[in-house]
Amino acid sequence: MKYPFVIFDWDGTLVDSEARIISSMQAAGEDCGWQPPLTDEAVRNIIGLGLPEAIRHICPGIDDAGVEQMRAGYTHHFLERSTLEMPLFNGVETGLTRLKAAGCTLAVATGKSRRGLDRVLVDLALGSYFDLTRCADETRSKPDPLMLHELLDEARFDVRDAIMVGDTEFDLGMAENAGMDRLAVTYGAHHPDRLQGYKPVFTADRFDQLVGWLLEE
C-alpha cells in the first residue's frame, strides 16, 4: 500500500449527501427570512466547511444570533425533516473493506458536527471501518490543518505516512496546509478544475479507482 494512514472527507467523498445539504440549508434560510434565497450553487460551494463558517460565508453580514438560528435550523432539517436519501457512492463499502483488509488505518475528517457524523455512521453501519474521526465542532474548520494534526497525533503516524482524500478545495487546502499528500475525487461538490491547483498526487473519477491506486494494483 502507498499510505498506511488514509483520511477521508465524508460528504461528497464517501456519501452522496449534496441534495440533502442543499435543501436543508435553503430551508434554514427560508425559516430565518434570509434574502436573497440561497441558490444551489452557493450552497454547493460551501460544502465541507464547518457549519458556522459555512453560514457566515453564504450569508455575508449575518450576526452571531443569526448564525446560531441558521445552524439550529439546518441541523433540524438535515437530521429530522429531510427525506432525501444519502447513499454511499458506488464501491465505497467494498473499497473500505479492501483497505482495512490490507492493513490501512482509516479515519474521517469532516465539516459535519459530531452529532451528525455519529448518527450517519450508525445509520449506514460504517462505524467499524474507521479507527478515528474528527468533526468541525471539535476543532477548527477546514482548511485549517489542526484537524489533521490532531488525527496524526492520535494515530501516531508521521505526516509522510498519511493521505487526505476529498472532493473540495477545503479538503485539499487543509491537507496542503498540513504538509500532507492529497487525493482528489472528481464526483463530489467542487469542479475537478478547482482541485488541481492543490496538486493532488492522484485524481480519481470513481471510488474503486482510488482504492486500486492506494493498494498499488
Q: Are residues 12 and 23 in the same domain?
A: no
Last residue of a domain, one of 64, 81, 98: 81
pLDDT score for 174:
98
Report yes or no on whether pTM surpasses 0.85: yes
* Residues labelled catalytic: 9, 11
Domain count, the chain: 2
Q: Degrees (nearest 5) of the Cα angle 155, 130, 81?
A: 130
Expressed as residue numbers, the domain containing 152 is 5-16+88-214
DSSP annotation of 28 reads: H
Whether 217 shows a pLDDT value over 80: the answer reads no
Q: Are residues 73 and 165 in the same domain?
A: no
Query: What is the chain's mean pLDDT, rounded?
Result: 95
What is the per-residue pLDDT across 107-146, written as a single tens digit (0 to 9) for each?
999 999 998 899 999 989 999 999 999 999 999 999 999 9
| SS3 label, residue 155 | helix
What are the residues whose beta carbons fall under 8 Å from the beta carbon of 136, sequence distance 6 or more? 49, 50, 51, 53, 110, 111, 112, 113, 142, 147
What is the per-residue pLDDT across 23-72, written as a single tens digit (0 to 9) for each?
999 999 999 999 999 999 999 999 988 899 999 999 999 999 999 999 99
Q: Are residues 76 and 95 in the same domain?
A: no
Q: Are residues 104 and 201 in the same domain?
A: yes
Q: Are residues 179 and 92 in the same domain?
A: yes
Share of the chain above pLDDT 90, in %: 90
- CATH number of domain containing 22: 1.10.150
Q: What is the mean pLDDT of residues 176-203?
A: 96
